[in-house]
Amino acid sequence: MQRLADGGAAAAWAIFARARGLAVSGARTAAESQSRRMITTSARDMSPYPAFQESLRAVGGRMFVVCDGKTGLPRASHRDFSFVEEMFASDPVNWKQHEAVFVELGRRTGALMGAFVWRTSRGQACGGIRLWDFERTDDFLRDGLRLALGMGLKSALAGLWAGGGKGV
């Protein structure tokens, strides 16, 4: 896939959509018509590579989602990742108002890495690292949410003063 010099994350999604034969809707504004297009697809259909990877590169290689303390809804660091907000908000099984999700591309490897934090009210988040090859972006995100929650519950049941976290 070509490197996007000025197109941003939305342009990466448009390229991804065209490659997979998905519908591409119109631009957000007239000024953004050439480089920013929204696609009509769900997060479930996304592959981590190349579209999600290109989206992260376009915003500096990092993004995060935090839980809004007032509403309990997820809030992404960049509007280009609003689909992650929507995916988390529509998934009450896995989104348990996690404190934060941090996603980054490895500088040397380009590997997709995530740190998932469920709760830190009992202490710092503890948990291991899962090294796994995911086929879809939503699998990567949901697995991290599930594992962080599980580590927090496991720590509480073991009587440890530690929160739940997981690296994926």
Residue-level pLDDT at 51: 81
The alpha carbon dihedral of 93, 116, 165, 96 has a sign of negative
pLDDT the model gives residue 47: 53
Q: Which residue has the tokens 């998905």?
A: 22
Joined together, the tokens standing for residue 45 give 């259909």
Q: How far apart are the first and last CA of the chain?
A: 25
To the question of pTM greater than 0.75 for the whole model, the response is no
What would the pLDDT profile of 92-114 be if each residue is shown by its tens digit?
Answer: 989 999 999 999 998 888 889 99
Q: pLDDT at residue 2 above 80?
A: no
Model pLDDT for residues 123-153, shown as the tens digit of each residue: 999 999 998 888 888 899 999 999 999 999 9
In degrees to the nearest 10, what's the CA dihedral of 145, 150, 152, 154? -170
DSSP designation for 136: S
- 4 pLDDT band, cuts 50/70/90, is very low
Q: How far apart are CA 164 and CA 161, in angstroms?
A: 10
* Lowest pLDDT segment from 3-7, 72-76, 150-154, 163-167: 3-7
pLDDT tens, 67-92?
Answer: 998 999 999 999 989 989 999 999 99
For the chain, give the percent of residues with pLDDT over 90: 49
Alpha carbon distance 72, 32 (integer Å): 31
C-alpha 143/C-alpha 14 separation (Å) is 26
pLDDT at residue 31, as a whole number:
38
Q: Report how far residue 75's alpha carbon sits from residue 78's, in angstroms, rounded to the nearest whole number.
A: 9
Phi, psi of 99, deg, nearest 5: -65, -40
